[in-house]
Amino acid sequence: MSDTDLFLRPLTPADAAIAAGLLADQPADYLKYFHPFGADEMTIAETLGARDRDVYSGLFLGGALICIFMLRGWDAGFTIPSFGLVVAANRRGREVLTVALEAAKLTARLAGAERIMCKVHPENLAGTRGALRLGFVPASQEPDTGNVVYYLDLQA
């Protein structure tokens, strides 16, 4: 495989070790606001193995995992999936977020969703800038977490 080969694929329980490795390789404060699942291999494997409609995908460059993105909430009965992602710190600012979001939008549209949401802590300035730059619109703030809830309509 070439170091320039870029591909996207669903993550499975067999990918738990590489997902845990991606998380472990980030600077200590980088994942401060990333809490969709635990960072240990066993918890990640359980999460990936228990999914039904929810999406956990990886973006790989040259065989290395550089981004995990997800659309969650369908398995819990929600009609609007929640978009989340973590990009390797050394790949930030290289359009990885844009590629992941476009794949998530297409996946959500094909699954019949009319919009997606994301939640961003107000102190997560990079997350806030990213959400706004990509067209998410702030709608409310969760009283218990302080997270701002953003929506992105998927209609063409």
Check: CB of residue 103 under 8 Å from CB of residue 57: yes
Q: What is the mean pLDDT of residues 84-89?
A: 89
Beta strands 148-153; 137-141: pairing state: antiparallel
Tokens linked to 15: 């990918």
Tens of pLDDT, residue by residue over 138-151, are: 999 999 989 999 99
Q: What is the mean pLDDT of residues 58-80?
A: 95
| pLDDT range class, residue 10, cuts 50, 70, 90 | very high
Residue 100: CB partners within 8 Å, gap ≥ 6? Answer: 57, 59, 67, 69, 85, 87
Q: How far apart are CA 19 and CA 40, in angstroms?
A: 9
**Strand stretches in the chain, DSSP E:** 6-10, 55-61, 64-72, 82-87, 115-120, 137-141, 148-153
